[in-house]
Each structure stands twice: as structure tokens, then as C-alpha cells.
Structure 1
Amino acid sequence: MELVPYHLFLIALSAVALGFCFFFVFNRDKVGKDTANLPPGSFGWPIIGEVFEFLSSGRDGKPESFVRDRMEKYHRQVFKTSLLFEPMAVFCGPAGNKFLFSNENKLVVTWWPTSVQKLFPSSILTSTGDQGKQSRRLLTAFLKPEALQRYVGTMDEVVEGHMKSEWEGKGEVKAFHLIKASTFALACYLFASIEDPDQVLKLFKEFNILLKGIMQLPLNFPGTRFYRSKKAADVIRRELQLIIGQRRVALLEKKVSPTQDLLSYLLVTADESGRFMTEKEIMDNILLLLFAGHDTSTCTITLLLKYLADMPNIYDEVLREQMEIAMEKEPSQLLDWEDIKKMKYSWNVANEVLRLSPPVQGTFRSAIADITYEGFSIPKDWKIHWSVSSTHKNPNYFPEPEKFDPSRFEGEGPMPYTFVPFGGGPRMCPGNEFARLEILVFLHNVVKRFRWEAVSPNEKIQFDPMPMPIEGLPIRLQPHHS
């Protein structure tokens, strides 16, 4: 929580504590009457559980330590804890991933903390049941490779313009901030054809406020991160509402194509039952994808540049691959789908970044029935967390797990359910292919122009909740001379 007047802080703290006490009393049945067969573990402190240990591991730059330490102390496959004021089971390893991914809507459903539910109430992230499935199918159809192929050239054009205006001619830049601005502008253009620089900048400022409140306590009063985040979300929705109104008119007058962007697609496309998304659903899903379509990719691209600065031998291989593609193009010719397919080594490098520093550390489920797993009982209504770190940095699946080694992804690649940066099963991130295109197009444009070195080679990476260098990754650019 941010600083607020002291008397307001005390009032709020008292109210929150009282609310949590009531919550604990009325939800204690979730723990179950018979606790003898629960997974081993600790609920931590009364009411607050182990949330501080969970969050501090990310701030220390080692988010995997929370899960790894408890796997070693309690059980390698599953343990209990208390996070976000909920009794919770943490499933570990490929068997846990497979169990959760294959039992979506059978034994578990997706669950997110209250702050996320309030910020994205009608989006595919928080919706469940038949309506959630239908909305997800609509978005997935737009984001599948066959549909995205037509946008590769547009991505290349936008990123190339960003390189010319923000990178070329600069001796030193803070890469994280420039990448974030570029990926956001690209998401605005591809999802809603928003290209006016002033409008993009206004939305960008509000999004930066929104992001800071996503994984916070849902304390909706002035001075808190969540309050400011919710206000920012309302500002963005009002902008989107105006854009939607204008787009409806343009579609009726046939001034724009129904396939122009995601917004037009959602306005004219019905689901399998003939139902169209409501305006609120469209706003929430555009809001979600503007967030997901730039923030996760920003983290991955930033860390990709950091790793390449540290390992010139890997940079040289990426450069060789990207220059072979560039040399086959005319000077003004844009990238296409066939070029993306040739970037195999570059994508292996990006996957190794996603293995070591995934932008999302895992997600949550809620048990919709009593579950028996590994001989332990998980009561109905318990929350379940799966963590990428239980496999990504496990030496049983990735020998020398801290070593950066893109060859892990050659041939058949990692074992099933061990490499899961985008999740899996019915709730797998629908934007995984969009992320791949975004990362590779940016990488192509930066590598063919520059080498670079880190100004602060030992810069710390903090997870809050996504990985980001605390200084913004300042780098010195060295333009290629030919």
C-alpha cells in the first residue's frame, strides 16, 4: 500500500482486519473438518498465511524459492499453504501440471484474486462456464497462427518505425521503457487500430497505473494502489467505449473492414450459439489483451536483450540467422510468415529466456469437487496454485537448470508438461502465437541494427509480479557499419 494520511491508514487497517476476521470465521469450513489427510505444509500466520514470504521471494529476484523450499521440506508433488486469504494446495512437477490442465471444468476451474476479478470482470481471464468457453473460442480464432499471418508485415513496419525514431542515433537507451512503449503501441494498433500518438500516450500512462494494482489487496479507497488502478481502468474503458461507438458507425457505413483488427472482428462475429459479445465484454477483453499483449512480451524481450548482452556467442548465432533472412529481402520489403518460420534458433533462445524468467510464475484454480491427489485430500472450494518453477528449474528435467542453453529446445524439446510458460490445456494462453510473432519481429529489428552491452551488468531482476530490471536495463548501442 502507498503512503496515506496516518489516521486514514489506521481506520482502513482496522476495517480490513475486521473484514478478514469475518472472512476467516465464515470460510473456515474450507479447511475441512478432517485435516489429517491434507497435504503436508504450513498455513503460516493466522489470516495472512504465507503471502509475505510468497511475494518477498519475487522481490528478492528468486520467485522459485518459495515453491522449491517447500517441495524439499514437505513433499515433491504437492503441499499446502495459505495465500491471498485462501487455504491453498500447490501442485508441483509435470504430473501436477498435467492433472490441472486436463481436468479444467471437470475437477477445477480457473480462479484469480479479487483484485484481478474486479479489474477484468467480464474478460476470458475471469469468466468460466459456457459463456467463458464461447468468448475464449472467439478470441482464440483471431489469435491463431492462420489469422495472425496477415499481420506480420504490419508488426514489422510498426517496430521498424519505432527503431528509427527511438533507437537509431542514440548512444545509450533504457531498453525496458522503450520496449514497453513499442509493444503497447503495437497492441493498440493491431487490436483496435489506435494510432494517434496522443491517444496512445494517454492510454499508456493509464495502463502503467493499472498494472501496479493488479496483484494488490482490493482496498478501494484513496491512497491505495488498487484504488488508482481501478480509476485508471475506468478511464481506459471510457476511451474504448468511444472507439467502439465510432467503429460501429464505420462498420455500418462500410468504411472499415470487418477483419481490420480484433475490435471489428468482435463486433461482427457471433459465437456458435449466435450470441454476440456485449459492449462490456468487448471492452474488458480488449483491456485484457492490451495488457497481456504488451506487458508479458515486454518482460521477455527485455530479458532476451540482457541475456544476449551477457553471451556474445549466442548473440552471434542469432545475428547470423537474422542477417540471412534480411539479406534475402529487398531494402524496403517487410517480414512475412515464411521469414518467421526460418527463425528457429532465435525462437530457441527466446524459449530459454521463458524457461529461466517466465513473465507469469503460474496461475490459480479452484476445486469444484473434493479431489484426491498423490494420496492426499484437497477439499472442494480450496484454491490450487501451479508454478512454472517446479519444472523450469528442476535439474531432473533441465540439467544444469541455471545454465543458459538454447539447445534444450532442439529436436523433440523438453518432456511434456515441463516447459509451461503459457500454461496448458483449455486455459492455455490464447496469445502465445501473438507473443511469438511480437518477440521475433522485435528481435529481428534490433539485432540487424545493433550490438549492445549492459551499462549495469549485475543489475538485479525483480518480480513484482513480472520480471523487470530495476534500473530499466540501460544499454550502450553499437550500430553495425554494414
Structure 2
Amino acid sequence: MDFYATCILGLSLSLLFFVFRKKRFAPNLPPGRKGWPVLGETLRFMAAGKSGCPQNFVNDRTARHSPDVFRTNLYGEDMTVFCGASGNKFLFSGEGKYVTSWWPNSIKKITHFPENLGRLSNTDAKKRRSFLLEFLKPEELQRYIPVMDSMTRDHLATDWSPNKEVRVFPLSKRYTFALACSLFMNIRDPEIASKFASSFARVTPGLIAVPINIPGTPFNRAMEGGKAMRQELLNIIRQRKMEISEGKGASARDLFTRALLEGDDDGTILYEMDASSKILGFLIASHETTSTSITAIVNYLAQYPHIYDRVRQEQMEIAKSKGPTELLNWDDVQKMKYSWDVACESMRLLPPAPGAYREATKDFTFASYTIPKGWKTFWTVHSTHKNPKYFPDPEKFDPSRFEGNGPAPFTFVPFGGGPRMCPGKEYARLEILVFMHNLVTKFKLEKAIPDEKFIYNPSPVPVEGLRLRLQPHN
């Protein structure tokens, strides 16, 4: 054998060894497909929501690939979607062990100043979460109930009572945003709240959108809205800091002022920008999901008179125990058990959020598949909420599912679960129940469009705003 033949043989054997070794030690990745270059399957994911059946994206892939986990590509990222109660449990309990919080860059670009994007860290996120949990603990929340009740009464008197027909969705957004401005930032001026709401309306549709920053796209409008809100918040921060330095706000108990008092203010513009981004994030979390939940609940109350009658009976017993001007309190809300069952069933059928994202901090295995470090993961409500394995006859509206011990663990997850369960869960519960109390004690409800469709963007949105006819109770 001559020299060249020996070299060719050696090279061939080396290549065979390399291919064999790579195949032998290649990780067993979850089954699935990546879709189009760059976009992946993002457009298909969004199209399922626009059709009103976001669960179809998950169901099609679990049927084709695996009922436990499948691979896709969303927002330009390798993504592993965890399905079912076992997938939810694994991700919820894996926080800090295998995964950490992660959000698409589109959200970060909308909510943060460009100068701050490179400074974000998981440590900062943990500090913000810890602070928010302290602000939203039960003893603090009890103080908010009379404020919620008073503002709800005013809202219904101003925006509902003068009309024979209303569009529920935009009104619920106005109400929850005004309440968040009042409780979180001590902003009660309707003109300022309205200015915020106008910018905010441009933000939410673009949070989970194809990040194409071209004029006219949802992402571009969200970027412009986020920029306007961050700047306005920055102005308020500087004004509030001046008041604190003059001793005017030292005793304030709103989230905004306390964040400034307890934060590590280094006196730089970057600190002020960070504080602005935090408050914007709090507003998004507290406002968007709660307003869509209220809209979903009102939809089912109007759709099912026998459900409405039971809720009204429960709420009237509470109302009759109060004086004409006496506001609701903590004990009153604890009596609203059936009303909360109705709220939960509404959120099961029309979940306020699709799920949440995580990032793998190390290689780990689930259902015999390997998820590599750096890959993104997604748990989704749509793998359990309408799954007949967990909820028989899943399209039926049945609040009795939540009586007694309720659904099996990790199957009903509108607020997530584990260490990163939504810190605003109890705040949302109080806000929803106070609103339900005032609504059913004041109005009979009738849907103007009986079969009005909901689409997901990414939260459920009624295509006509949920048009409702009102008849005041005598």
C-alpha cells in the first residue's frame, strides 16, 4: 500500500470513529421540529391563539411526538415544551435546581431601558420578587379590600350604570389599571392614570409578538408605548424622590414609594431607569391577567343564568349583613366560596396567561429525554386545563370541579406553581371577588352576542369586547 492510500485509509477510519463517537454520545433530545429558520414555529404558535384554540398547537405535537415533552423553536430559541401534570410538577419543583426564570427578548426590550438590558441578572429578579411578596402578604392585602370596594363602586356608577349596553373588556382594563395605579403608586388623578392607560394599551398586544420593529407592527407599537411609559415613570420617580428627601413621603405605604425607600439608590440615572422598569413590570403583571380574568368571569355569569343566580344569592347574603355605606372586609371575602369556584372554572376554560418560560441552567433529563443547558423551556396551561384526562367533559362549565379538594395537583395552573407561583395570586383573588360582589348585586346580565368568540393575544380577548346588556336590580 503506497503512502497516499495509507493516508486515505487513516483519514476514513478517523472520520468513521468521529461519526460513531458523536452518534454514541449525542444527547437523546426531545422529539419535535424546529420549523422555519429564525422564526421557528412562532407563527404557528400565534395562529393557534388567533383561531381561539391555543391548545391545538400543544395537542397536535403531543399526539405526533410525545405526551410528556416535545421540542420546537419559538422566538428564535430552541424550546422544550413540558406537558401534563408531571411536566408542570417537574418544572415548578426544578426552580433553582435545573431551571431559572427567562422571558423572550421582546418583553425585555419593551419593559427596560436599552442602557439597562446588559445589567439584568437573576439576582436582581429574586430581589424584586422577594420585595413584591413582602408587599403582597395577607396582612398587607387586607388593607386594600375597602379601597378595592370603594373604587369598584365608583367604577360601576360612572362607567356602567349610565349605559344600557357596555363593552366589558375595555372597561375591565380601565378599572384594573386605575386600581393598580392607586394601590401600587398612590396615583389617584384620573388624568394621569388615563395617560398611563393610553400608552399601556399599546404595550400589551406586543409583549409576545414577532419582534419586528417596523412602524405599524404590534412589536413596534409596544416598543413606543413602553418607551413613553418608562419615561413618564422616570419623571414620577424623580418627583417622588424629591418629596422623600423633603420628608413628605417617608410614611407612604404604596409599592412605588417603598421600592424607592428600600432600594439601593446609588444616585445614578441607571438606578432610576431600573426602578422605572420594575414598576412597569409590576403594572403589566397586576393589570393584564386580572382584567382578562374578570372579562372571562363576566362572560360565563352572563351565559349561564343558574350560575349567576347562585353567585348572586351568596353575594346578597353578604350585602344584607352590611350597612348601606359599609365597605367589604377580609371576613366578607372569605365567605365568597362558590363565587371563587366560578372564577376558577372561568380561568380553567379561558386561562389569563398561556404559561411561562424557563432557561435550563444545566443538562438534565425528563421523560428519558435530555434538555441541554441553555435551552429554553415552556410550561403551558393548555396541556392540562382542557385535557379530559384531568377534567372530564372539559368544555363543560362546571364550578363543582373546585369543591372539596378540587382538581388534582398541577392540573389547574393559571397562577403557575412551586417557588415561582405568581406572587399576585391573592391580590388577584381579592380584586376579582370584590368586583363580582358589586356587579351581581347591581345588575342582571345578558350577552348581546351570545356566541361571541375569544381569541388569544396571548391572553383571551373577546373579539367584540364582550358586549353586555345591563338591567339594574330594583
Task: Flag whether TM exceeds 0.5 (same fold).
Answer: yes
The answer to whether the 8 Å contact 1:355/1:392 transfers is yes
How far the C-alpha of 1:218 sits from its partner, in A, is 2.7
In the alignment, which of 87, 100, 110 is matched to residue 101 of structure 2? 110
How far the C-alpha of 1:100 sits from its partner, in A, is 0.8
Which structure 2 residues correspond to residues 351-370 of structure 1 after superposition, within 5 A? 351-370=344-363
1:90 corresponds to 2:81: yes
Aligned residue in 1 for 2:54? 63
SS in 2 for 1:104: coil
Aligned residue in 2 for 1:208? 201
The answer to whether the 8 Å contact 2:111/2:230 transfers is no
How far the C-alpha of 1:212 sits from its partner, in A, is 2.4
How far the C-alpha of 1:128 sits from its partner, in A, is 4.6
In the alignment, which of 61, 69, 78 is matched to residue 69 of structure 2? 78
Aligned residue in 1 for 2:10? none
How far the C-alpha of 1:257 sits from its partner, in A, is 5.4
Distance, in Å, in 2 between the alignment partners of 1:128 and 1:315 is 46
1:472 corresponds to 2:470: no
Which structure 2 residues correspond to residues 7-86 of structure 1 after superposition, within 5 A? 37-86=28-77
How far the C-alpha of 1:259 sits from its partner, in A, is 4.0
In the alignment, which of 293, 301, 308 is matched to residue 308 of structure 1? 301
1:197 corresponds to 2:190: yes
CA RMSD in angstroms comes to 2.1
SS in 2 for 1:309: helix
The answer for unaligned runs of 5 or more in structure 1 is: 1-31, 272-276
Aligned residue in 2 for 1:322? 315
Which structure 2 residues correspond to residues 101-250 of structure 1 after superposition, within 5 A? 101-121=92-112, 128-250=121-243
Cα 1:348–1:127, aligned 2, differ >3 Å: closer, same or farther?
A: farther
Cα 1:48–1:238, aligned 2, differ >3 Å: closer, same or farther?
A: closer
How far the C-alpha of 1:258 sits from its partner, in A, is 3.2
How far the C-alpha of 1:55 sits from its partner, in A, is 0.8
Distance, in Å, in 1 between the alignment partners of 2:238 and 2:29 is 52
SS in 2 for 1:452: strand
Distance, in Å, in 1 between the alignment partners of 2:27 and 2:129 is 39
Distance, in Å, in 2 between the alignment partners of 1:220 and 1:85 is 15
The answer to whether the 8 Å contact 1:251/1:258 transfers is no
Distance, in Å, in 1 between the alignment partners of 2:471 and 2:293 is 22
**What residue identity is the alignment partner of 1:407?**
S
In the alignment, which of 360, 366, 374 is matched to residue 381 of structure 1? 374
The answer to whether the 8 Å contact 2:455/2:461 transfers is yes
SS in 1 for 2:378: strand
In the alignment, which of 337, 345, 353 is matched to residue 344 of structure 1? 337
The answer to whether the 8 Å contact 2:359/2:375 transfers is yes
How far the C-alpha of 1:253 sits from its partner, in A, is 3.5
**What residue identity is the alignment partner of 1:162?**
H
Which structure 2 residues correspond to residues 381-400 of structure 1 after superposition, within 5 A? 381-400=374-393
How far the C-alpha of 1:118 sits from its partner, in A, is 1.3
How far the C-alpha of 1:112 sits from its partner, in A, is 1.3
**What residue identity is the alignment partner of 1:182?**
Y
Aligned residue in 2 for 1:21? none
Aligned residue in 1 for 2:436? 443
Aligned residue in 1 for 2:256? 263
Distance, in Å, in 1 between the alignment partners of 2:383 and 2:186 is 40
**What residue identity is the alignment partner of 2:80?**
A
**What residue identity is the alignment partner of 2:50?**
R
The answer to whether the 8 Å contact 1:206/1:233 transfers is yes
The answer to whether the 8 Å contact 1:110/1:128 transfers is no
The answer for unaligned runs of 5 or more in structure 2 is: 1-21, 265-269
Aligned residue in 1 for 2:284? 291
Distance, in Å, in 2 between the alignment partners of 1:412 and 1:216 is 38
Aligned residue in 2 for 1:22? none
The answer to whether the 8 Å contact 1:88/1:382 transfers is yes
Distance, in Å, in 2 between the alignment partners of 1:135 and 1:420 is 22
Aligned residue in 1 for 2:404? 411
Asked which structure has the greater CA Rg, the reply is: 2
**What residue identity is the alignment partner of 1:77?**
D
Aligned residue in 2 for 1:17? none
Per mean C-alpha deviation after superposition, the further-off stretch among 377-386 and 42-51 is 42-51
How far the C-alpha of 1:269 sits from its partner, in A, is 2.4
SS in 2 for 1:115: helix
Per mean C-alpha deviation after superposition, the further-off stretch among 334-343 and 256-265 is 256-265
The answer to whether the 8 Å contact 1:88/1:384 transfers is yes
Distance, in Å, in 2 between the alignment partners of 1:114 and 1:270 is 25
